[in-house]
């Protein structure tokens, strides 16, 4: 199982530089809110531990995961941000709707990463059932919101290093 191979839920604080001036947008889907709020909680806590000031974390809610790329584009174009984190949860149902939503969101976020120099982080769970989502939103597989925060920080640092 790929989840067992690598987890950013565990990170070394002493390896992370000061990011108190970083500004990060966090977009949270309201669909599957029990899960997405847990992802956001992990993300926000981790950003704080990584020295990002609370006032520099901009939380935006959207109705569902499908709206994440559009909101990310709006944030990128309207705010001076160092990164955008997209948090959502899509759970497999009985129809192909799951496939269409997951593909659209992943492709939308990927396109934003190619188009802009602001990192857009894919923090969207795509699970077979609610139990799997809970396991990845603070359960036995960690909290993917934490991993999204760490990924954002690492990409901010990469950008600062390469685009001085």
Residues with catalytic roles? 97
CA 50 to chain CA centroid, Å, is: 15
First to last CA, the chain: 38
In angstroms, the Cα distances linking 70 to 50, 62, 93, 118, 136 are: 27, 10, 24, 15, 25
Q: Which residues contact 72 (CB under 8 A, 6 or more apart)?
A: 25, 27, 84, 86, 108, 109, 112, 120
Q: Minimal CA–CA distance to 155: which of 53, 81, 90?
A: 81
Nearest-angstrom CA–CA distance, 130 and 33: 12
CA 82 to chain CA centroid, Å, is: 13
Tokens of 20: 């108190």
């Amino acid at each position: 199982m790929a989840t067992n191979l690598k987890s950013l839920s565990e990170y070394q604080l002493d390896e992370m530089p000061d990011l108190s001036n970083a500004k990060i947008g966090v977009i949270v889907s309201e669909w599957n809110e029990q899960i997405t709020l847990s992802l956001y909680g992990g993300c926000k806590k981790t950003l704080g531990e990584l020295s990002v000031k609370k006032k520099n974390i901009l939380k935006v809610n959207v109705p569902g995961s499908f709206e994440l790329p559009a909101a990310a584009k709006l944030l990128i174009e309207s705010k001076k941000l160092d990164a955008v984190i997209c948090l959502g949860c899509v759970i497999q149902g009985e129809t192909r709707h799951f496939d269409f939503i997951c593909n659209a969101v992943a492709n939308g976020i990927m396109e934003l990463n190619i188009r802009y120099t602001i990192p857009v982080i894919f923090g969207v769970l795509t699970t077979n059932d609610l139990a799997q989502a809970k396991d990845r939103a603070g359960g036995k597989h960690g909290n993917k919101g934490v991993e999204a925060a760490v990924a954002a920080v690492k990409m901010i640092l990469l950008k600062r290093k390469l685009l001085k």
